[in-house]
Amino acid sequence: MKNLTLALAAVFAASGFIAGAQAQELTGTLKKIKDTGVMTVAHRESSIPFSYLDDKQQPVGYSMDICAKVVDAVKAELKMPNLKVAYQPVTSSNRIPLLQNGTIDIECGSTTNSVARQQQVWFGPTYFRIQVTAAVKKSSNIKSLAELNGKNISTTSGTTAVPLLKAYEKTRAIDVKEIYGKDHAESFLLLQDDRVVAFVMDDILLAGQIANARNPNDYMIINESLRGEPYGPMIRKDDTQFKALVDRTLGNLYKSPEMERIYAKWFTSPIPPKGVNLNFPMTPTLKADFANPNDRGVQ
């Protein structure tokens, strides 16, 4: 009987330990979501194919599909299967302030993970890599970034393309006049309407805008890069509890066959609203990122 009593005591003690671990006090974003009953996901309106509005004005895209896995993980973690999910459009300029002030809980778009931005926010594991370059009209006969000297170019306000372009101007002794669009669609429209000769932005975003243009064959992307950059989901800085959930969820996703299906859906298959195929196969570098998930930012 004594041995049975000791055994039962051990079981109850272990059960108490497990219950205590499961009842870990919530902090940061998870506490906010639990208290409010709402998780707010930020999206872009024209960052094709990452995060944009379809023909029904609903946010869709590669980044949205990935972040949906985080939403599911939050529901499971908080035991809130009916958790309300709100969607908030953001721009390159306001996405960081809206994250910092608590308006949004995670940003799912085309945001570069840089060391400088890590002073303000944190990132989940990298889900894409791009090259910053320029789109031009073929009729311009522009083949290099240096040929933009003395010309008007567009770029999107609040993006990393802005300081990169200014640094390029300084080191290469060229002079361009930047006209800023509030989003990528507006920046591309400036090129389409011949108000500028080039749109400087991430290669895949340029490809998305060109694919959905009135006459896609009128444009080309320059085969020269200002810098390569990683994209990742953006979360609040110093939120270790939410960061752990995001890292665990996406790390498992990236290593699964489902990640290849999500990638193929948005980069090598017809996508809404026009059914255009971007034909952008996964690069060896991105495959390495998925095999070894990381949140390293570019300098």
How many whole angstroms separate alpha carbon 73 and alpha carbon 91? Answer: 26
**Does residue 57 sit in the same domain as residue 184?**
no
How far apart CA 278 and CA 77 sit, in angstroms, is: 36
Residue 298 in any domain: the answer is: no
Secondary structure (3-state) at 93: coil
Query: Omega before 273 cis (within 30°)?
Result: yes
pLDDT digits (tens, 9 = 90+) for 55-64: 999 999 999 9
- Residue pair 30/245 in contact (Cβ under 8 Å)? The answer is yes
- CATH of residue 160: 3.40.190.10
Domain range holding 178?
131-229
9 part of a folded domain: no
The DSSP annotation for 97-151 comes to HHHHTTS-SEEES--B-BTTGGGTEEE-S--EEEEEEEEEEGGG---SGGGGTTS
Q: Report the relative pairing of strands 198-202 and 152-156 from DSSP bridges.
A: parallel
Please indicate, yes or no, whether residues 89 and 140 belong to a single structural domain of this protein: no
Residue by residue, pLDDT tens for the chain (299 residues) are 444 344 434 434 444 433 333 457 999 999 999 999 999 999 999 999 999 999 999 999 999 999 999 999 999 999 999 999 999 999 999 999 999 999 999 999 999 999 999 999 999 999 999 999 999 999 999 999 999 999 999 999 988 888 888 888 888 878 999 999 999 999 999 999 999 999 999 999 999 999 889 899 999 999 999 999 999 999 999 999 999 999 999 999 999 999 999 999 999 999 998 899 998 999 999 999 999 999 999 98
Q: Helices 28-36 and 62-78 sit at what angle, rounded to 10 degrees?
A: 80
pTM above 0.75, yes or no: yes
Handedness of CA 38, 42, 43, 45 (dihedral sign): positive
Residue 5 lies in a domain: no
Q: For residues 216 and 268, state if they share a domain.
A: no
Co-location of 239 and 224 in the same domain: no
**3 lies in some domain:** no
Whether residue 117 is contained in a domain is answered as yes
Assigned token pair, 111: 């945001």
Query: How many structural domains is the chain composed of?
Result: 2
